[in-house]
Every structure is written in structure tokens, then in C-alpha cells.
Amino acid sequence: MRAASNPVRLGKYSLGKIFFTICKYVLLIFAAFCALVPLVSCVITAFKTKAEYNNTNVMTLPESWLYFDNFVTAWKQANMGKAFLNSFLVLLFVLLAALFQMNTIIWIARNTLNVLVIALVVIFQPEMRKALENLGRKNVLAFLFSFDSSKEDTGKFSDKTINEMVKACYEMGKVKTGALIVVEDEIVLSEYERTGIAVDGILTSQLLINIFEKNTPLHDGAVIVRGDRVVAATCYLPLTDSLSISKDLGTRHRAAVGISEVSDSLTIVVSEETGRVSIALGGELYRNVDAEFLKNKLTYIQRRERELSKIALWKRRLKDAKTARKNDNK
């Protein structure tokens, strides 16, 4: 009779069991990494100044760990003192219940803790979503898993494009023609581009003025500028939830601040009521700016260096090495 085949064993463990254990620990390590990266980034960001946050990678360490203004601001705006007082009173009540053996209250407290994690996710869902959006804006994992090299070769807009945008904005301001222009930077705005109508035309002042002319098919909505081209018009943008925006400002200004909160773009607003030009950048609105200020901000976006991780640098070096080999072979 033929002997039954036995599974391959290493000591007292089968090969399948070892493979399953390895996969399990790999998944656990990956899950721990995904959970810890946002937490670590939040801790690092908490000690950064506003300038550091806007101009450095989210995982770049702050210049000083003694900057506590963010904590003071959060404490005041979120009314943390009242929250801590409420938590202390609840804890004191539970301790008294345990001391006097109030079994019903202890049972309620014990079962409440079991659903506390889910409750926290539901309650703080907007804040968690914003934190993840900010994490995505800073490209922590994008360089690790992105293999699209076309984005690295995309150039920014030229000085001529800056002059054309400034000229168009203030000419529209003179006749009180409303406009909303989003100038894309590192974060690609394809999601919002798809909500509009494709244009893909070279940016000129005449093109922008014609797009925003009243009662024309493309005047309603935002224009997205990528490089030296107008890629789309009549685009829908997210509105900000900030309460700091003045109530005398309309939808254009709220949309400008909204898109600046979820991307690194610069947005230009021309008011239809007053003809004044405003800028939204990094979640802040600069109202009634002059041509020189607008030009300086556009130049800042134009010359701002892209953040390159070590992996991105290695990819570029490999690409340069391959190009050099091809040239040598020729």
C-alpha cells in the first residue's frame, strides 16, 4: 500500500501554518503603520508655526518643540475647559457609584465603554475627515506608492501667464464682472475639473474676460488653471464651513476659501458687487488686494519648490542614469 503523503513540516509546525503566521504579522504591522502615521503627523504638526505647516512636509520635524500657540488656540476655540470639567464630573460620579456599590450605574458605565470607540468616530467624523485631508495634501504616502512620473515633469506657469491673469482680474474689476480663478499647484484638482466643461486653452487675459462675461454659457462657476493653460470652466468648488468669513461675502468667496482648505492652490476672486480682488491661500482670505500683491503671491506659487522625498529623488536619479546610458550607447 502507498503511504499517505504528509505535509511538509519544520520542527513541530507545518509550512502552511508558518506562512499563515507570517502573513498575519505582516498585516498587523501594516495596520499599525496606517494607524500610527496620522497620529505621529498630528503630534508633529501641533508644534509647527503656520509658516512651517504651509512650507514643509507634514513629517518634517518642527524647528522648535516649545511652540504652544496651537494648543492655546485649540483650547480656547474648542472650549476644552468645559469638556474637561464634564469628564471629571462623570468620572467622579462613576467612582462614587463604585464606592457605594450602585450596580446598575456600574453596569451602564461598563457597557458604555464598549461602544465608546464607535461613538468617538461618529462624533468626531468631520474633524477626522479634515485631518486625513490635510495628511493627503502633504503627500506622506504618495511618493512611496506613486509610479506616475508625468507629474514630476509638469512645469509651472510662466511670467507671461502671471501678467495675463493680473491684467484680466483688474480689467474685470473695473466693470464689476465677477470671476473665480483657481491656480493649481502641486495637488492636482482633477476631481473638481471633472465637474466643469473642458477648455484646454492657452491662458490670455482676453480668454478669461470672455469666459466670465455676464450671460455667457461659461461665466458661472470657477476656472481651473494648470500651468499656462485654462483646463476647465464652470467648475463646482467646496464651500468653507469657517465661521470667520464675513457675512457680507458671497458664494464665490466661500468657495475660494473652501478649495484653499483642501488643496495648496491659490484662488483669485473678483467681486461682482464691488469689483475688488481677493485671494484665498492656505484657508485664509486676503481681501481688497492690489495688483502688486496679487503678482507677488502668484510669483510665490510659481517659484515654490516641490517637496521631494528620498524615494522620489532616487526615482529621478535612476531616470537620469538611464538617460545617460542611452546617450552613451548612441
Grid cell at residue 47: 508644534
- Looking at residue 326, its pLDDT comes to 64
163 and 296 inside one domain: yes
- Residue 17 CA to residue 300 CA, distance in Å, equals 57
Q: Where are the beta strands (DSSP E) in the chain?
A: 9-10, 13-14, 179-183, 197-202, 222-226, 229-235, 266-270, 277-281, 284-286
- Residue 229 CA to residue 260 CA, distance in Å, equals 20
In single-letter form, the type of residue at position 214 comes to K
Instruction: Decide: residue 280, CB within 10 A, 0-12 exposed, 13-18 middle, 19+ buried.
Output: buried
Q: What is the C-alpha radius of gyration for the chain, rounded to an integer number of angstroms?
A: 27
163 and 139 inside one domain: no
In a domain, 310, yes or no: no
- Looking at residue 277, its pLDDT comes to 94
Range of the domain at 258: 159-303
- Looking at residue 327, its pLDDT comes to 64
- The CA-based dihedral angle spanning residues 192, 198, 200, 204, taken in that order and rounded to the nearest 10 degrees: -80
43 and 129 inside one domain: yes
In a domain, 299, yes or no: yes
- Residue 8 CA to residue 16 CA, distance in Å, equals 8
From first CA to last CA, the distance across the chain in angstroms is 68
How much is the pTM? Answer: 0.55
67 and 185 inside one domain: no
Grouped pLDDT means (10 residues each) for the chain, 330 residues: 50 72 89 82 80 69 80 76 82 85 82 76 72 59 46 65 93 93 88 91 93 88 92 92 82 91 90 92 90 91 59 55 63
- Looking at residue 32, its pLDDT comes to 86
Q: Over the stretch 140-198, which tens digit does the pLDDT of each residue have?
A: 554 444 444 444 444 578 889 999 999 999 999 999 999 999 999 888 888 899 999 99
Name the H helices within 175-309: 190-193, 205-211, 251-262, 291-303
In a domain, 86, yes or no: no
In a domain, 216, yes or no: yes
- Looking at residue 149, its pLDDT comes to 44
Which residues have CB under 8 Å from 10's CB, separation 6+?
A: 18
178 and 284 inside one domain: yes
Angle at 258 between CA 303 and CA 205, to 5 degrees: 55
Grid cell at residue 140: 506622506
128 and 209 inside one domain: no
- DSSP assignment letter at 219: -
Neighbours of 82 (CB within 10 A): 9
230 touches 211 (CB < 8 A): yes
- Looking at residue 244, its pLDDT comes to 79
Closest C-alpha to 253, from 278, 235, 273, 223: 278
- Residue 262 CA to residue 125 CA, distance in Å, equals 16
- Looking at residue 197, its pLDDT comes to 93
173 and 258 inside one domain: yes
In a domain, 280, yes or no: yes
